[in-house]
Amino acid sequence: MRRSSLFLILSVLLMSCSATSDNASNSSAGGGEAAITSSIFGSMPDGRDAMLFRLTSPSGMMMEVTNYGGIITRWTAPNRDGTYDDVVLGYDNLDGYLKENPYFGAIIGRYGNRIGAGRFELDGETYTLATNNDANHLHGGIVGFDKVLWGAEPFTEGETVGIVFTYTSPNGEEGYPGNLSVMVTYRMSPDNKVEFTYEAMTDKATPVNLTQHSYFNLAGTSSDSILDHELMIMADHFTPIDSGLIPTGVLQPVVGTPFDFTTATAISSHIDADDEQIAFGLGYDHNWVLRDGSEEMKLAARMYEPTSGRIMEVHTQEPGIQFYAGNFLDGTITGKSGAVYEYRSGFCLETQHFPDSPNKPEFPTTILRPGETYSTMTTFSFLTDGMGS
Ligand code: BGC
C-alpha cells in the first residue's frame, strides 16, 4: 500500500463529524460548503456498527456511503434545470443490503467479474476459489469486498470531500493467496466528479481486479427502464463469452454487431437482437476492450439520458469496461422509498481488467506480486446537455 499517500490524506484530515438522520435526496444547486457528516447506519450481525457518511459538495452534489462494502447508497446529480436527484439504486437501510444485494453500489474485490470454474494456476500451484455463480467465481466470492466492514477515514481538502476505505484481506480468504492490504479512496470535487482510487499490496502473488458496482438510472427515478439511455463506449472490440459468461479469449470487433457503441446509441436499439452473445448475456453483460489500452486516464464511456439531460462520463486507467444492463433485475427487489427495481431499471459501467484473466494468458495480467503496488483510478463525472461535453 502507498503509505505516503495514506499519510498525506490522513494529515489533511478535517473531519466534521455530527449525527444526521434525514435522507433528503432531491435538491437544487449548490452554494453550500464542502462537508461530511456521519451517523450509525445499522448493526452488523456480529454487533459492530456500520457507519453512513454523507458527503456534500459546494456544487450541490451529495453522496451517502457506508463502510459496509464501501456501498454508495445515494448519489445525486443535476438535470438540465439544475435539480439534483438520486441517480443510483439501493436500499434505505443496512438490513436491505445485508439481506439481498446484487452488488448495488459496492466495492468489488478481490476480482471484479468471473473467474471460470473458480480456479486458476499461478507459479505452479492450482488455487480453488469459492464458487458463487453456478460453477464460477463472481465478484470475489461468497463474502467478497462488498460484504466486509471497511475502515473509513473521511477527509476534506478545500472544496473536495472524500473517504479513505481500508481493508486487509487475509491469506486464503475466498481461496485467494496472500495477505492483501487494500485502500480505496472516494474523492468528490466541486465539478461534480467523483474519483475512485484503488491501491493494494500483497505478500504473495495473487490476482487483483478492483472496481465499483453502482447501478445508475440517470432519469433519477430509479425504477424506470434504462433502455432509452444512449451509450457510447470508446471500444472497437469486446470479449465474447460462453454460456457461463466466461470470455472465450477472443477479442471480437464490434463493427456490424449489437455491441457497436462507437457512436451514441440507445441501449434499446439492439439489446434484444437475435444474436448468440446477446442470448448468453440475456442482453448486455459483457466486457469492452478500450481502444486506448494504456494506463493513462482516458474517456471509456459516456451515458446520456434524454429526458433529464443528464450525462455521465467514465474515465479510467483500466483496459476494459463491463456494461451490465440490469438484466437480472426482475421486479422482486423493493429499494429506496418503495421503488421496485424492474427488469433493466439500472445499469453498471464497471471499469476493470478483463474477466477470467487469471486463466487467459493472452489478456493483460491481473497478477500482483510482493513488492509491487496495485494502483488504478476511475472517475465518474456528471454533466448535462445544456453544458456541452
Ligand atoms: C456481472 C453480471 C452480474 C452482476 C451482478 C455484473 O458485473 O457482469 O453478470 O449478474 O454483476 O449484479
Q: Residue 53: give its domain's CATH number.
A: 2.70.98.10
Q: For residue range 280-309, what is the model confidence (pLDDT) as tens digits?
A: 999 999 999 999 999 999 999 999 999 999
Q: For residue range 346-355, what is the model confidence (pLDDT) as tens digits?
A: 999 999 999 9
Specify the number of domains making up the chain: 1
Closest CA to 70 of 83, 51, 85, 89: 51
Residue 388's pLDDT is 47
Does residue 14 surpass a pLDDT of 70?
Answer: no
* Neighbouring residues of 223: CB distance < 8 A, sequence distance ≥ 6: 217, 339, 340, 341, 342, 345
Residue 222's pLDDT is 65
Residue 32's pLDDT is 83
Residue 10's pLDDT is 30
Q: Please give the number of the atom of ligand 1 that sits closest to the Cα of 328.
A: 10
Could you tell me if the CB of 146 is within 6 A of ligand 1?
no
DSSP letter at 116 equals G
350 is catalytic: yes
Judge whether 389 lies within some domain.
Answer: no
Tell me the pLDDT of the chain averaged across its residues: 92
The CB-side HSE value for 40 (13 A sphere, CA atoms) comes to 6
Judge whether 1 lies within some domain.
Answer: no
329 exposure class (CB count in 10 Å sphere: 0-12, 13-18, 19+): buried
Does residue 184 surpass a pLDDT of 70?
Answer: yes
Mean pLDDT calculated for residue range 126-133: 98
State the catalytic residue, choosing from 173, 174, 318, 350: 350
Judge whether 310 lies within some domain.
Answer: yes
Could you tell me if the CB of 7 is within 6 A of ligand 1?
no
Q: Please give the number of the atom of ligand 1 that sits closest to the Cα of 327.
A: 10
For atom 10 of ligand 1, the residue with the nearest CA is: 328
Cβ neighbours of 296 (radius 10 Å):
9
For atom 8 of ligand 1, the residue with the nearest CA is: 285
Q: For residue range 253-271, what is the model confidence (pLDDT) as tens digits?
A: 999 999 999 999 999 999 9
Closest CA to 161 of 50, 244, 57: 57
Closest CA to 185 of 12, 383, 358: 12
Q: How confident is the model at residue 386 (pLDDT cuts 50, 70, 90)?
A: confident
Q: Please give the number of the atom of ligand 1 that sits closest to the Cα of 213.
A: 7
Does residue 17 surpass a pLDDT of 60?
Answer: no
Does residue 2 surpass a pLDDT of 80?
Answer: no
Does residue 1 surpass a pLDDT of 50?
Answer: no
Mean pLDDT calculated for residue range 92-120: 98
Range of the domain at 154: 6-384
Residue 22's pLDDT is 36
State the catalytic residue, choosing from 137, 139, 213, 237: 213
169, 236, 284, 347 from 128: Cα distances, Å: 16, 34, 28, 31
Does residue 29 surpass a pLDDT of 80?
Answer: no
